[in-house]
């Protein structure tokens, strides 16, 4: 099962950019390997774009974009 299925099936939260990048507990381990951000504003102001892309790839969302 991919991370995408986990979010859609188990969490029942809206599948938004904010939820995936900052809020979703299912991604905490993967997210912490690439960045720490408390908000979308914090993320895009203080995290290198490559770290965000690497997170998206590891979380199996890259091919969904």
Degrees to nearest 5, angle at CA 10 with 51 and 49: 10
| pLDDT tens digit sequence for 4-57 | 544 454 557 777 889 889 998 889 999 999 999 999 999 999 999 999 999 999
Residue 34 near residue 53 (C-beta atoms within 8 A): no
Q: In the structure encoding, which two tokens stand for residue 18, read together?
A: 């904010």
Whole-number CA gyration radius for the chain: 11
For residue 43, the model assigns a pLDDT of: 98
3-state DSSP call for residue 3? Answer: helix
- Residue recorded with tokens 């960045």: 35
């Amino acid at each position: 099962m991919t991370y995408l299925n986990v979010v859609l099936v188990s969490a029942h939260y809206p599948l938004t950019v904010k939820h995936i990048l900052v809020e979703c507990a299912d991604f905490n381990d993967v997210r912490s390997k690439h960045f720490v951000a408390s908000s979308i504003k914090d993320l895009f102001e203080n995290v290198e774009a490559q770290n965000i892309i690497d997170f998206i790839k590891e979380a199996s969302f890259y091919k969904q974009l």
